Structure 1
């Protein structure tokens, strides 16, 4: 198997150091609860350990209240959340039910679409393929995608960093994407509107679906693998993310079992968000290497943490993938993800799902969350993730542990207000 050996070993070593604290917490939880070791999460270096009953009741209550508030604001009936705090424990929970007329509880093994979090997966694959020498980061995209001869001044790294100058174009396709979710799209169809909206590359970050679609096409050509194969061989298999994939194009649920996904369109919002439209079955081709991947809440947390821990060297300095970060949407952006304070992460919107994951580059504190109604847009779920991170950062240390001296440049109250501002459904 081809993989970025140096990068992966570094990530796993840092995962191992961050896991040591929680390994003790897992053992503590097993001893206190009377559970067997098989019911606690593994603390191996290649996994994010997820104990389930460590956090103080007050912290759990705050986290639960934040999720409940965002579910109301977005019209979601269900949510999945993973909050891992190395010095305090973790909370991994399915919240609510699978749909408006269902009493089926959301469970933590359910799969969902991760939207633009896929961009971070695609960029991770780029850096792994570059590490083995198959491509260079400064290769023009035209070296690998011959159908775009006018993009000779755009590099693979610029596609990943969002500085390609390509436009979004998604709004032009939105009516068709919404009305025919099961349709199979070609990558070139999806990229064309954004290519037509291009400006000069290199000067600023632009939210461009086209960039990550072209990057996926380039990686397919360079490796001889399908886009699904690229993500599997260079990212999910090396990191043991068995529940994460870029599915084939055929319309399907995001996995088995699936978290049903919904959208409250205008008429439903006017009626109180009680009858959303079901979008559980859809084609991943509409997102491809930009926003087409699926995952589970544990995998999402594990990928987010690995991404963050690999983003700094042993001296705490950002590594090369993040060296050219530029301001974007109130944070910095590079490498397919946002740098917000000491945390790195991404937000995603796919029909039926809002997803976000952030992790701290030094402590490994990780927050991952998904809501099952995408009507409010990704900015709401990103605000929720930052609200959860602010709550988690203040969690008291467990017995025998020490709370690190670090802070985030925002408060939980600030982002709770943002969630309320982004609300599309009644709160309260």
Structure 2
């Protein structure tokens, strides 16, 4: 799928605003990490987890009507082409719905079988892998990134904890060089994780480590490399073995080659630069890496939302440590952001946005309720996160229900 040249120019301008410093192509090989001894052998293999079942039955008709109206009103407010939404409440029932179109030009409807990009919800998987390795004594949150990746500015003082909670001060990888290599030279290029991290090498820091909390994709991609170095395996293989297979996430995948994405699926859109139309966005999952390259389904989101918030893959002590956080100084809307997960009004989870899609996946540990929202619209102006907005509104409907 090729976006309009106007769409590329607009994305190019927006990306250039993130940084004015270019890196050379010769830096790409530097991110593979320093030569090291064989990585420690993890003390355990796949965690013992059981996929949670969806609540039996349908939610009460009055509640379903309110949820449906909230979804429709939110889609209309933001001009969302298509959506897939789920609400699961133990003891009350389940509600899933699809609406709108997956392909605006051909008027193809969204179907319940479609897989959706989860964008930054991927971060919650990546940091979970890291924390499993912490539990096994393979890595420590107090390790510094220079133990795993060479050439990162302040790498001898940036800890893995600071990368996970977005307080590292590290530069993002959306540099002029990355924009040139991707959006200008080859929008369909499949980037490796080492290539993405290479654009961060020797870049100036945004701030001193630990002094602010600025949400940056490069933080999580560096942690993806830590997972590779610590296990001696490719990130995708570690994810499959440690989370996807044990949890039975058969409709979830980490993919960098968009041709492997099961069809049909929803195309991604952003508002047109002028007028009221929409522009199809570049379908290149490789540019996001462990920060955002995963896809999933509604039911897999249900299972992951609960397992993430309850800490099923981690020891209780590590989950408690994971949930320590503070508000972001810049980034997505959360009350607090902790280690690869955020909290909003008592709901724990993650949201994601970019390149035509928004998503939200949250669980309330007190009520056991889970919400998942997938939209094929991003970059709404004035700035908003449509999927997160719907999550908040659905949560309010649930909490006000008799």
Regarding TM over 0.5, the answer is yes
Q: Of 253, 258, 264, which aligns to 1:251?
A: 258
TM-score normalised to the size of structure 1? 0.74
- For residues 242-299 of structure 1, give each alpha carbon's deviation from its aligned partner in whole angstroms, at most 9, with x where no partner exists: 211211x3332633442232233313xx1x32x53254xx332200011111111111
Please report the TM-score for the alignment, with normalisation by the length of structure 2: 0.78
Partner residue, 1:289: 290
- Deviation at 1:123? 0.4
Whether contact under 8 Å (2:81, 2:376) holds in the other structure is yes
1:299 aligns with 2:295: no
CA shift in 2, pair 1:318/1:225, >3 Å: closer
Who is 2:143 aligned against? 139
Map of 1:256-267 to 2, 5 A cutoff? 256-267=263-274
- 1:126 corresponds to which of 124, 130, 135: 130
- Structure 2 CA distance for partners of 1:3 and 1:381, relative to 1, 3 Å: farther
Q: Does 1:218 align with 2:222?
A: no
- SS of aligned partner of 2:359: strand
Is 1:236 the counterpart of 2:244? The answer is: yes
Specify the alignment match of 2:215 in structure 1.
207
Given the alignment, which residue of 34, 43, 46 partners 2:51? 46
Tell me the equivalent position of 2:340.
336
> SS state of the match for residue 322, structure 2?
helix
Secondary structure of 1:252's counterpart equals helix
Q: Does 1:394 align with 2:381?
A: no
Write the distance in 1 (CA, Å) between the matches of 2:221 and 2:359: 19
Shift of 1:104: 3.3
Q: Which runs of 5+ in 1 are unaligned?
A: 13-44, 397-428
Report the equivalent of 1:18: none
- Calculate the aligned-residue CA RMSD, in Å: 3.1
Distance 1:3 1:391, change over 3 A: farther
Contact 1:337 1:345 (8 Å CA) reproduced: yes
- SS at structure 2 position matched to 1:109: coil
Alignment gaps of 5+ in structure 2? 1-40
1:11-50 matches, within 5 Å, as 12=49, 45-49=50-54
User: Cα offset for 1:54?
Assistant: 1.4
Aligned length: 352
- Large movers: runs of 4+ above 6 Å: 1-6, 311-318
Contact 1:168 1:207 in 2 (8 A): no
| Partner residue, 1:321 | 322
Q: 1:111 offset after TM fit, Å?
A: 0.8
SS at match of 2:212: coil
Match in the other structure for 1:115: 119
Change (3 A) 1:145 1:95: same
